[in-house]
Amino acid sequence: EIVLTQSPGTLSLSPGETATLSCRASQNIGSSYLAWYQHRPGQAPRLLIHTASTRATGVPDRFSGSGSGADVTLTISRLEPEDFAVYYCQQYGVLPWTFGQGTKVEIK
């Protein structure tokens, strides 16, 4: 199965700064079959991005996805207090679908 490696494990930033999260696949997953989710404690995960760069409905434009193949990035510009959470990438190019281990974005 495809292993997704997210880096860094933890990102310590201040509100207003920019977060850059990386997700690397152990093999090419084909085209852009990659999604990003935000997960706050005690809540259900929330879809942010699918197809590597398409924002889900209602997601602010400060969230952007880029990349394809085996290397993708989630950028969060102008961090808001509600953006401090854990972020997961997920591939759906090769069964079984898999998630990365997560990147925690915490307040510095």
CA distances from 19 to 47, 81, 95 (A): 17, 13, 30
Q: How many residues bind another protein (CB under 8 A)?
A: 24
Among 101, 106, 107, 108, which residue interacts with another protein (rule: CB under 8 A)? Answer: 101
- Nearest-approach distance from CB 55 to another protein, in angstroms: 12
The contact pattern for another protein, residues 23-52, with x = CB under 8 A and - = no contact, is ----------x-x-x-x----xxxx--xx-
Query: Interface residues for another protein in 72-91 (CB under 8 A)?
Result: 86, 88, 90
Strands 103-107 and 10-13: parallel
- The Cα–Cα gap between 36 and 38 comes to 7
